[in-house]
A = this chain, B = another copy of it.
Amino acid sequence: MIDGVKRTVRVDLGERSYDILIGRSILSGLGEAFKTLFPSSEAVIITDSNVAGLHLDTAEASLREVGVDPYVIVMEPGEKSKSYKGLMKAADAVLDSKLERGDIVIALGGGVIGDLAGFVAGIVRRGMRFIQVPTTLLSQVDSSVGGKTGINTSHGKNLIGLFNQPHLVLADTAVLDTLTPRDFKAGYAEVAKYGLINDPDFFEWLERHWQGIFDGGPEREEAIARSCQAKADVVAADEKEADQRALLNLGHTFGHALEGMAEYDAERIVHGEGVAIGMVLAHEFSSRLGLCDAAVTDRVVAHLQAVGLPTHIRDIPGQLPKVDLLMDYIAQDKKVSRGNLNFILTRGLGQSFVEKGVEPAAVRAFLEEKLG
């Protein structure tokens, strides 16, 4: 549909299917793609001020070229915008724009903007259509696929939201060049996750090719496409969260608890870092339960450390968390049923599985040992 698209991943969800277009510098094709899909609609862009300073001009110019003059909503950067306050601000601004129900919301930003804008699109006028233009590695390989949208509350992350599928995802791999190294690495944790879930070959490939991904070589498109495809396969098999889909949460139960105990303070920890540490914890916990060879855990730690990711709770700056606090977050995690905890454990490299009967006491003992 537009120039420069190197890979297209189809997310197969019947009536709600959509394409993920991947390629360098394809943001300038946004207008063309928009006009093809929505020939007579107007657009509102929701973005954050960091992204606005770097990539909004390109997006706006591209839309103007096809005669669409977008209304622009600029949020503050960071997780704080994924809140009731951010929701009200964004939703009211969409209503201010005087756009109609048939018009289109464009999420231009990382996972925060994608989750917020996707939720806003789902509830303004009981549902407008939307496009994801993910601008972080994390959002390109993860939040852009699967339709989870929402905000955080004081009770925890992503507790309010919707399953809401975009109509198109446009992943420009060149916009990732402006990411801070820290944000790039954080996104890379989710890429590595796909290997660790069920694709040891991909993990091996990453061990050999990660530098090309970081440098913006063709390996970047390749890694993003493979990651999107992996998530798309799971999502297509199982749109609403159930067992298969739960595997995508590898590292996330621990990770969310770490983000929570740090009060989502990005100075201390960002999502992908929590996932990196969480994946290591999931491997260590699996080893402790006698499920997984310790050498596998070492290999995982070695690769994540090679790219510069944190791998241990002690790597988080500030006070060590209390086990009680972590356990509270773990218990409140969505992946709980009737007292028993659901965890993603592993039997080896790329051999993850869902374990539903994990006793809280076992987790507590493990964490106490780690932090003792």
Q: Which residues of A contact B (CB under 8 A)?
A: 84, 88, 91-92, 95-96, 100-102, 119, 122-127, 148, 150, 153-155, 158-163, 334, 336-338
Contact = CB atoms under 8 A, between A and B. Distances in A.
B125 A91 contact: no
Given A84-B84, A91-B160, A160-B91, A125 B155 contact: no
A150 B123 CA distance: 8
Given A84-B84, A84-B88, A100-B336, 19 more contacts: A92-B154, A95-B155, A95-B159, A100-B338, A101-B334, A119-B123, A122-B162, A123-B123, A123-B150, A123-B162, A124-B159, A124-B160, A125-B334, A126-B148, A126-B150, A126-B162, A126-B163, A127-B162, A162-B162
A104 to B, nearest CB: 15
11 contacts: A84-B84, A84-B88, A92-B155, A95-B155, A96-B155, A102-B337, A123-B162, A124-B159, A125-B159, A125-B334, A126-B150
The quantity of this chain's copies bound in the complex is 2
Contacts of A155: 92, 95-96
Nearest to A163: B126
3 A-B pairs closest in CB distance: A95-B155, A126-B161, A123-B160
Nearest to A120: B160
A150 B119 CA distance: 14
A158 B123 CA distance: 10
Nearest to A40: B338
A338 B40 CA distance: 11
Contacts of A124: 159-160
A123 B84 CA distance: 12
A153 B84 contact: no
Nearest to A126: B161
A210 to B, nearest CB: 33
Nearest to A92: B153
Contacts of A102: 337
